[in-house]
């Protein structure tokens, strides 16, 4: 029993995240089935298992920025389907900070800001016509 506990306690952080990579696939499947709340929960757990201080690099022992940003991007898109623009913006800002050289994410973030502004503008016009 003592040997089992030692081996369980000494699991490296990278092994923990690798054993939970299925959560990303499960989150995708749940989202496709329309179970958004459970999918968001799995993505949030996955994100919490990836500390911000993990090394990002090209070697096999490092996580690529693309791998680290994928759960944030998925979560942002799910928040958009729920019309939670502020949460979507926060998640896309994180994606943009992880992948500063990819313009597609910045364009998507700009679109979300624009769309959110249009929604707010329409709400104001609804309550204060004229």
Q: What is the pLDDT of residue 116?
A: 97
Q: What is the pLDDT of residue 56?
A: 56
The whole-angstrom separation of Cα 129 and Cα 18 is 54
Task: Express the helix, strand and coil content of the chain in percent, nearest 5 each.
Answer: 75, 0, 25
Q: Is the distance from CB of 93 to CB of 112 less than 8 angstroms?
A: no
Contacts of 23 (CB under 8 A, 6+ apart): 42, 43, 45, 46
Contacts of 82 (CB under 8 A, 6+ apart): 36
CA quadruple 83, 100, 58, 69: dihedral, nearest 10: -10
Q: What is the pLDDT of residue 24?
A: 82
Q: What is the pLDDT of residue 25?
A: 85
Each residue's pLDDT, cut to its tens digit, for the chain (130 residues) gives 444 444 344 344 444 445 445 578 888 899 899 898 999 999 998 888 875 545 555 544 466 888 889 999 999 999 999 999 999 999 999 999 999 999 999 999 999 999 999 999 999 998 888 7
The pTM (predicted TM-score) of the whole model is: 0.74
Q: Is the distance from CB of 36 to CB of 83 less than 8 angstroms?
A: no
Q: What is the pLDDT of residue 78?
A: 94
Q: What is the mean pLDDT of the chain?
A: 80
Of 81, 85, 76, nearest to 115 (Cα)?
85
């Amino acid at each position: 029993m003592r040997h089992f506990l030692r081996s369980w306690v000494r699991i490296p952080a990278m092994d923990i995240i690798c054993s939970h990579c299925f959560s990303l696939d499960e989150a995708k499947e749940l989202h496709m089935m329309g179970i958004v709340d459970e999918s968001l929960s799995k993505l949030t757990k996955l994100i919490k298992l990836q500390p911000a201080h993990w090394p990002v690099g090209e070697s096999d022992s490092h996580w690529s920025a693309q791998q680290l940003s994928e759960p944030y991007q998925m979560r942002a898109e799910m928040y958009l389907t729920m019309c939670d623009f502020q949460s979507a913006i926060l998640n896309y800002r994180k994606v943009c900070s992880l992948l500063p050289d990819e313009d597609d994410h910045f364009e998507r973030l700009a679109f979300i800001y624009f769309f959110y502004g249009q929604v707010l503008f329409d709400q104001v016009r609804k309550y204060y016509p004229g």
